[in-house]
Amino acid sequence: MPKRDDIKKVMIIGSGPIVIGQACEFDYSGTQACKALRKLGYEIVLVNSNPATIMTDPGMADVTYIEPLNVQTIEEIIEKERPDALLPNLGGQTGLNLTSELARSGILEKYGVKVIGVAVDAIERGEDRIAFKETMERLGIDMPKSEPAFSVQDAERIASELGYPVVIRPAYCLGGTGGGLVYNVEELRTVASRGISASLVGQVLVEESVLGWEELELEVVRDAKNQMITVCFIENVDAMGVHTGDSFCTAPMLTIDAELQKRLQKHSYDIVEAIQVIGGTNIQFAHNPDTGRVVVIEINPRT
């Protein structure tokens, strides 16, 4: 795509605290974005609360702020620096959540800041568990049986109907924070309470377990013209139940037949088109090799 002449200065939001061996992709992608955009002649304003990253090295951006990642701080920086655009999807859930809040509060409109890399409403369609489920139902793509809960009592009722174990998935949370697999009502009360508190909107999804199924992923890139490519097909060596961040994986897939891979690709393209993500998206699936059932677990419109 040609260089945009309506943008001179771009703000990039980092991911904040990360631990060694996890979420390093946000630092890597943010660093690469700084280099690529500066090479194109854009001025870069970088905001990250974590100084122990490559992206915050001196000279990586034109201006670097090591400040708390919250709406008040970001507004103050926007007021001072007056960026033309905000690139949120290189900071993982932190950047996405902050951008949603900045848009809802009218701050981006107030200072005339465009969001690039992802549409603001696409963040909500991808991260709000209810909205995402409704989108999947419209597309005819299967998901694990689930219901949203806004209280521990709701979660208990839903879990008893689905049968244990169940998965608790908080909405708008970084890297699965506050969620987990629970095997009984005592565990559910603890995890659901934690998840509701961690969720930006006080919402968790109580979901049927797909423990032991194959975990498969696709990395897809979509541009503003709705052109899509599959960067890679990923097969996790460990089954569902081992966090993908802790699991060995192979790319390309080694034991998954071509027909199933085509099916996963079709689902992935339908999803990113419906969500209207511009940029990269990770789509995670679970596959039951005994029945052939495929369900979409989640998408990550981030790096």
pLDDT value of residue 177: 67
pLDDT value of residue 23: 61
Q: Which two tokens stand for residue 158?
A: 């839903």
pLDDT band per the 50, 70, 90 thresholds, residue 275 = confident
Q: Quick: pLDDT tens for 25-56.
A: 777 888 888 999 999 999 999 999 988 888 88
Q: Which two tokens stand for residue 222?
A: 């979509």
pLDDT value of residue 120: 79
Architecture of domain 210-300: 2-Layer Sandwich (3.30)
Q: Cα separation of 231 and 225, whole Å? A: 17
pLDDT value of residue 19: 60
Q: Quick: pLDDT tens for 122-154.
A: 777 666 667 788 889 999 999 999 898 999 999
- What does each C-alpha distance from 158 to 5, 161, 228, 258 come to in angstroms? 52, 5, 37, 37
Of 81-85, 104-108, 118-122, 245-249, which range is least confident?
A: 118-122
Q: Quick: pLDDT tens for 208-261.
A: 999 999 999 999 999 889 999 999 999 999 998 887 777 789 999 999 999 999
pLDDT value of residue 61: 93
pLDDT band per the 50, 70, 90 thresholds, residue 2 = low
Q: Cα separation of 226 and 218, whole Å? A: 17
In percent, how much of the chain has pLDDT > 70? 93
Q: Cα separation of 300 and 280, whole Å? A: 9
Residue 175 has pLDDT above 60, yes or no: no
Q: Where exactly are the structural domains of the chain?
A: 9-117, 145-208, 210-300
pLDDT band per the 50, 70, 90 thresholds, residue 114 = very high
pLDDT value of residue 173: 65
Report which of 303, 302, 301 is spatially closest to residue 125, judged by C-alpha positions.
301
| Conformational region of residue 117, where left means phi above 0, alpha means psi within -120 to 50, and beta covers everything else | left
What is the distance in angstroms between the CA of the first residue and the CA of the last residue of the chain? 18
Architecture of domain 145-208: 2-Layer Sandwich (3.30)
pLDDT value of residue 303: 46
Q: What is the CATH number of domain 9-117?
A: 3.40.50.20
Do strands 43-47 and 9-13 pair parallel, antiparallel, or not at all (unpaired)? parallel
Q: Cα separation of 145 and 206, whole Å? A: 9
pLDDT value of residue 73: 96
Mean pLDDT, residues 286-300 taken together: 93
